[in-house]
Amino acid sequence: MDTICAISTPAGLGAIAVVRASGEHAFAIANHLFRPTVGFEALPAQQAKFAHVYDGEQLVDQVVVVKYASPRSYTGEDMVEISCHGSLYIQKKILELLLDNGCRMARPGEFTQRAFLNGKLDLPQAEAVGDLINSQSESSHRLAINQLQGNISQKLHLLREELIKVASLLELELDFSEEDVTFANRDELESLLQKISGEVEKLMQSFKIGNLLKSGIPVSIIGRPNVGKSTLLNALLQHDRAIVSQMPGTTRDTIEDTLTINGTLYRFIDTAGLRNTDNEVEQYGIERSYEAARRASILLYLYDMTRQSVAEVSEELKELGKQVDLSDKEVIIVANKTDIAESSVEKPAQIQNYPVVFISAKMQLHTELVEQHLTEYVEKYAIHDAALLTNERHYDILRSIASSVKNALRGLADEIPTDLLVEDIRAALTDLGTLTGTISTDDILNNIFGHFCIGK
């Protein structure tokens, strides 16, 4: 393979920057940047050394250089990391010197791709590197770390072993087909396939919460005009993100912002108030409110305790249910203006089996109870397992595996020939190989690693 190089730190000024080179000739190429008296050539691997980089007779920078000898490096190849001052000129100059002496520029994600090709990581672990770089919260960071440590890979490995066991039993029958011998007990096969099917389904189900924790849980604030939706958003965010006005219909488009609560990222969406209107622009905003509610995992249905009765709220929820499927949503009823509501106002614990929280958004009273319910949602639906699926590619492949296993189960029940059963199991194993990277193509790898930053 070529020896590659790249700047691995973000573009822009900083105290330091890191320039990497990896490949068979990385040491020899990097050696050209230092004077013989530095001792780079004799520097033991996995040790750092203070040194001076020269361009001919001209001093470029004082740096710290580390040699990583194959296979004990990130890529599994000989690798050099040069930590220099963050000057854009210095970064560019060191990169030019590496290129002039035989390196080529690394493509996006090529260092991690080489780590995968050299067996340092499997494909799910390699993909987790990108997730780790892009993690925005404690939850998304924890998911990426778990996947990088191989928690998903371990489950997939066990799944592969079980599929191979089924395939082996069926293949053995095919080898002795002329003797009309049945090696595999059909009840045992069905039990094993049912177990595999259940494991695949469990992994697929974990994708819903895993993907939400990775990208942020969408929360839609919805209700009548002028009940305090924008005020609640501002109270939760602790800054004035949305315009607040006494005039109904002020919010005519969705307003979005993010907030991290107890390590989990939430994506809040303030929506236009729901009401019948002849105003074309406001009606468009209301339609967008319904669309935001459909996309959300959690709905905060806000109502004004001083103007709306519990019966009215119940009817409004029924009307909302005609526009939005509430069966797969976490709905939290938020009763606002508790600070000015009369003591005789009804305060139910639930409305239509949805929990009710009593707050004053304007006075920021009890808004922490809303945050508490949001946290309970994560605790309720998060599978207490280190292996949560977060990658859409993995989910799509697992759907195909699930289909193959179900076909095999149906075939077993219908007593179809063994060679047809084997085809379904082979298809599942091929899909699993594509997921883990034991079977890969340039197109798949280029698509995965092409989304990484250069230098990683």
Q: What's the Rg (C-alpha) of the chain?
A: 29
- Whether residue 451 is contained in a domain is answered as no
Same domain assignment for residues 102 and 164: no
Same domain assignment for residues 190 and 95: no
Distance CA 346, CA 59 (A): 79
- Whether residue 452 is contained in a domain is answered as no
The 10s digit of each residue's pLDDT in 60-100 is 999 999 999 999 999 999 999 999 999 999 999 999 999 99
- Whether residue 18 is contained in a domain is answered as yes
The 10s digit of each residue's pLDDT in 90-127 is 999 999 999 999 999 999 999 999 999 999 999 999 99
> What are 415's two structure tokens?
């007593």
- Whether residue 84 is contained in a domain is answered as yes
Query: How many other C-beta atoms are found inside a 10 Å radius of the C-beta of residue 391?
Result: 22
DSSP code of residue 56: T
Same domain assignment for residues 361 and 232: yes
Same domain assignment for residues 267 and 158: no
397: pLDDT confidence band, cut at 50, 70 and 90? very high
CA angle, residues 233, 237, 238, in degrees to nearest 5? 110
Confidence check: pLDDT of 279 > 90: no
Q: What is the CATH number of the domain that holds 359?
A: 3.40.50.300
Same domain assignment for residues 373 and 224: yes
Share of the chain residues as helix, strand and coil, in percent rounded to the nearest 5: 45, 20, 35
- Whether residue 335 is contained in a domain is answered as yes
Interhelix angle 229-237/367-381, nearest 10 degrees:
80
Domain boundary, last residue among 61, 89, 121: 121
Same domain assignment for residues 147 and 110: no
- Whether residue 447 is contained in a domain is answered as no
Domain enclosing residue 88, as ranges: 4-121
pLDDT at 380: 82
Q: What amino acid occupies position 150?
A: G
Same domain assignment for residues 206 and 298: no
Same domain assignment for residues 205 and 227: no
The 10s digit of each residue's pLDDT in 269-278 is 988 878 776 6
- Whether residue 450 is contained in a domain is answered as no
Same domain assignment for residues 363 and 425: no
Q: Say what percent of the chain tops pLDDT 90.
A: 62
Domain boundary, last residue among 121, 156, 189: 121
Query: How many other C-beta atoms are found inside a 10 Å radius of the C-beta of residue 362?
Result: 16
Q: What is the CATH number of the domain that holds 81?
A: 3.30.1360.120
The 10s digit of each residue's pLDDT in 286-329 is 888 889 999 999 999 999 999 999 999 999 999 999 999 999 89
Domain boundary, last residue among 316, 351, 381: 381
- Whether residue 129 is contained in a domain is answered as no
Distance CA 331, CA 301 (A): 7
CA torsion 354→297→368→306, rounded to 10°? -50
Q: Give the mean pLDDT of 403-412.
A: 93
Same domain assignment for residues 176 and 48: no
Of 214, 247, 200, nearest in space to 146 by CA: 214
Same domain assignment for residues 368 and 223: yes
Q: What is the CATH number of the domain that holds 198?
A: 1.20.120.430
Same domain assignment for residues 238 and 316: yes
The 10s digit of each residue's pLDDT in 351-392 is 999 999 999 999 999 999 999 999 999 888 775 666 788 999
Distance CA 434, CA 429 (A): 9
Q: Give the mean pLDDT of 227-247.
A: 74
Distance CA 259, CA 136 (A): 11
What is the residue whose two structure tokens read 């006005």? Answer: 245
251: pLDDT confidence band, cut at 50, 70 and 90? very low
Q: Say what percent of the chain tops pLDDT 70.
A: 92
Domain count, the chain: 3
Confidence check: pLDDT of 21 > 60: yes
202: pLDDT confidence band, cut at 50, 70 and 90? very high
247: pLDDT confidence band, cut at 50, 70 and 90? very low
